Amino acid sequence: MYKITKVERLSEKNWLMEVEAPFVTRSCLPGQFLIVKSGELGERIPLTICDYDREKGTVTIVFQTVGAATTKMAELKVGDSFTDVVGPLGQPSEFVHEDLEELKKKRYLFVCGGVGIAPVYPQVKWLAQHGVKADVIMAARSKDLIFYEEQMRSVAGNVYITTDDGSYGMKGVGTDMVKKLVADGNKYDVCVAIGPIIMMKFTALTTKQLGIPTIVSMNPIMIDGTGMCGACRLVVDGKVKFACVDGPEFDGHKVDFDLAMKRSQQYKAEELKAMEALNH
């Protein structure tokens, strides 16, 4: 059993949990994910690692209540436990394997939307710990959906916020800020976009026009998380890949986002049935 040591409601549907999982913290790196399961018959839920404390042996996850399993998961309290935690899984972010001196010459721009804020934080934190400052765009529909701002500002070079309704930061979407920063004379060597598939698609389209190499995380289409179910199959540069074992990060300019969006909808009917069963 994996004890929950912290629970925090970040917004109406976003939750943060800190979980005891020392075997994960011993080797996890930015970009990787884990799978949690509550109850012997519970659903396996893949979640990108938001933070980790190797000394305490705890890992932090952030999730959104979008279906029956995550709705039930949000009912867990401090002192409760997950039946299973599996990880770290997936491939770490490419930059952790780069030559540090070469890495320090690069300027990174992160664009994160919604729950995508969570997996961006450990990447920016790792870069800061190794002397590489990165700029971060945090985008959401409204102010109440922005979380981890203080933590992000503590590790990022600059943090820019956009909201669809203009309730906080600049009114607009993340790509509007990307265009503004470049128009203002900022030059970036790499962009990392993590968030809803549609957001990553348009960020990649924007950066392609601007000539900025871009990495995206295809975590949103993962289900089983181990390559067994095939649900996270996607096409990258004309080749079939699996988000969970080959990724979750890929070249955003080579991902077939339209196919990925269709695949992400394939279990909607089952999800609706599960929610109906939960509510009755």
What digits encode the pLDDT tens for the residues 149-185?
999 999 999 999 999 999 999 999 999 999 999 999 9
Give the C-alpha separation, 119 to 106, whole Å. Answer: 20
Which domains are delineated in the chain?
A: 2-89 (2.40.30.10), 94-264 (3.40.50.80)
Percentage of the chain lying above the pLDDT 70 cut = 91
Looking at residue 225, its pLDDT comes to: 62
Instruction: Write the CB contacts of 121 (distance below 8 Å, at least 6 apart in sequence).
Output: 50, 51, 148, 151, 152, 155
Give the C-alpha separation, 115 to 145, whole Å. Answer: 9
Give the C-alpha separation, 256 to 263, whole Å. Answer: 11
Backbone dihedral angles phi then psi of residue 131, each to the nearest 5 degrees: 80, 20
pLDDT digits (tens, 9 = 90+) for 128-156: 999 998 999 999 999 988 988 999 999 99
Structure tokens at 194: 């993590």
Looking at residue 219, its pLDDT comes to: 81
If pLDDT is split at 50, 70 and 90, which confidence band does 280 have?
low
Residue 229, classified by CB atoms within 10 Å of its CB into exposed (0-12), middle (13-18) or buried (19+), is middle
Give the DSSP letter string of 187-209: --SEEEEESSHHHHHHHHHHHHH
Lowest-confidence segment of 33-42, 53-62, 249-258 by average pLDDT: 33-42
Looking at residue 275, its pLDDT comes to: 43
Residue 264 has pLDDT above 80, yes or no: no
Residue 233, classified by CB atoms within 10 Å of its CB into exposed (0-12), middle (13-18) or buried (19+), is middle
Q: Which residues pair with 61 in a beta bridge?
A: 17, 49
As a whole number, mean pLDDT of residues 229-247 equals 83
Looking at residue 228, its pLDDT comes to: 67
Instruction: Write the CB contacts of 126 (distance below 8 Å, at least 6 apart in sequence).
Output: 29, 30, 93, 95, 96
- Cβ neighbours, 10 Å, residue 8: 13
User: Alpha carbon 48 to chain centroid distance?
Assistant: 6
As a whole number, mean pLDDT of residues 115-138 equals 94
Residue 14 has pLDDT above 80, yes or no: yes
**Which of 92, 113, 109 has the alpha carbon at shortest distance from 249?**
92
As a whole number, mean pLDDT of residues 230-241 equals 85
Give the C-alpha separation, 77 to 75, whole Å. Answer: 6
* Coil vs helix vs strand at 214: strand
If pLDDT is split at 50, 70 and 90, which confidence band does 210 have?
very high
Give the C-alpha separation, 141 to 102, whole Å. Answer: 36
